Amino acid sequence: MSIEAFLDSIKYDAKGLVPAVVQDADNGDVLMVGYMNKEAVKRTLTTGRTTFWSRSRQEFWVKGATSGNVQRVKGVYVDCDKDCLLVKVEQTGAACHEGYRSCFFREIDASGNETIIAEPLTEAY
């Protein structure tokens, strides 16, 4: 399958985006979920750095380009329905813009209470 054929086989949503789960290749922690358009998927596959489409800024976003917290791609996987990607990465520093290693730093209990379960590595940026 050519890369264009693969890119065309993905089921993008109405905005042309597919969610990508980013997982720490070393310890399995889920670090973040970002969104990619077709070109961002292509860049992630071919450049070895995760590239997303920023829904808020409406522009490509190479993770770590400004913060230095880059994600080196170790593996890319697609799910059964081809509407979601999993990207295993080598994460430098914090994945979360709030300074935490993972964006999922709050646990919710059955009563809706939130508990912060991690310490920030750096200040928010």
Please, what is the minimum distance in Å from the beta carbon of residue 123 to a second copy?
A: 14
Between residue 19 and residue 78, which ones bind a second copy under the rule CB under 8 A? 19, 21, 23, 27-30, 32-33, 45-46, 48, 75-78
Question: What is the chain's Cα-based Rg?
Answer: 15
Identify the burial level of 5 via C-beta atoms within 10 angstroms of its C-beta, where 0-12 means exposed, 13-18 middle and 19 or more buried: exposed
- Residue whose CB is less far from a second copy, 30 or 70: 30
Amino acid at 16: G
Both tokens of 75, joined, read 């593996």
Residue from 89, 104, 87, 99 nearest 124 by CA? 99
Binding residue count for a second copy, defined by CB under 8 A:
45
Please, what is the minimum distance in Å from the beta carbon of residue 87 to a second copy?
A: 10
91 interacts with a second copy by CB under 8 A:
no
12 interacts with a second copy by CB under 8 A:
no
Residues paired with residue 23 on neighbouring β-strands, in sequence order:
30, 88
For residue 9, the tally of other CB atoms under 10 A from its CB is: 10
Residues that bind a second copy in the complex, under the rule CB under 8 A? 1-7, 19, 21, 23, 27-30, 32-33, 45-46, 48, 75-81, 84, 86, 96-98, 100, 103-114, 117
